[in-house]
């Protein structure tokens, strides 16, 4: 029954995962090609993950956390989620499209039960649009589900930060686009960390950040842990 239900959900949401539906054909092809070209600047990071896997076999049926530096610096994952085996494959500075590009090296080899993706922060800083972030997320989902159709995928909302305060409205717009995309698919979910990270004045809460005002401190990760836990499978 579950397989049938998932198939029906995928059929209902099938329109979402074709970039050509959302974008002009030429632009969709460019975005798809760009995502497929693994950026060479991350090669050392990816090779380091592969070397670590050869030395220490990663857990099976795990929850895979992947994305940018907010994932890479989440050093307390094992202790924060002791109920589940977890794998951290964050590589700092990366964008959503970078996780797409390396799907076959840092995602599918682990055959995870669930993927928790955080990215988009650096995309906006590089002047990518909310529409492009949405398109890249859909590409990520499609590529994962082509290989692992039963895998759950959870997107952690793009965070607001004092260092990138000028990008808050774009982050809000990108989050709404991704949130809407997750609603149409039974194996997708969205964690809203954006709203709880804002104070009563509507500005990012400084007590959640390191001195650089960009990366999370221990209190910030405690909040993320609390908000993410209900979505883990």
Longest dimension (CA), the chain: 51
Using one digit for the tens of pLDDT, what is the confidence trace for 72-101? 999 999 999 999 999 999 998 999 999 999
How many domains is the chain partitioned into structurally? 1
CATH of the domain at 70: 3.40.50.1110
Using one digit for the tens of pLDDT, what is the confidence trace for 153-176? 999 999 999 999 999 999 999 999
184-214 per-residue burial string, b: 16 or more CB within 10 A, e: under 16: ebbbbbbbebbeebeeeeeebbeebbeeeeb
Distance CA 52, CA 88 (A): 12
Using one digit for the tens of pLDDT, what is the confidence trace for 204-222? 999 999 999 999 999 999 9
The model carries a pTM of 0.84
Residue range of the domain that includes 129: 2-231
């Amino acid at each position: 029954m579950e397989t049938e239900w998932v198939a029906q959900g995928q059929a209902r949401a099938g329109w979402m995962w074709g970039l050509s539906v959302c974008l002009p054909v030429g632009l969709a092809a460019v975005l798809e090609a760009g995502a497929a070209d693994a950026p060479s600047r991350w090669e050392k990071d990816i090779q380091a993950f592969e070397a670590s896997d050869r030395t220490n076999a990663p857990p099976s049926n795990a929850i895979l956390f992947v994305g940018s530096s907010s994932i890479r610096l989440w050093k307390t994952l094992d202790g924060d989620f002791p109920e589940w085996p977890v794998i951290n494959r964050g590589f700092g500075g990366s964008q959503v499209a970078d996780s797409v590009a390396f799907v076959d090296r840092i995602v599918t080899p682990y055959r995870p039960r669930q993927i928790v993706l955080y990215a988009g922060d650096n995309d906006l800083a590089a002047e990518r649009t909310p529409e492009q972030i949405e398109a890249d997320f859909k590409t990520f989902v499609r590529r994962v589900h082509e290989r692992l159709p039963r895998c759950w995928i959870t997107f952690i909302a793009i965070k607001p930060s004092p260092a990138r305060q000028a990008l808050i409205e774009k982050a809000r717009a990108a989050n709404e686009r991704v949130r809407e995309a997750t609603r149409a698919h039974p194996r997708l979910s969205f964690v809203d960390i954006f709203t709880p990270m804002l104070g009563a004045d509507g500005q990012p809460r400084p007590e959640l950040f390191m001195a650089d005002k960009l990366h999370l401190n221990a209190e910030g990760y405690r909040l993320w842990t609390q908000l993410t836990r209900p979505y883990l499978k």
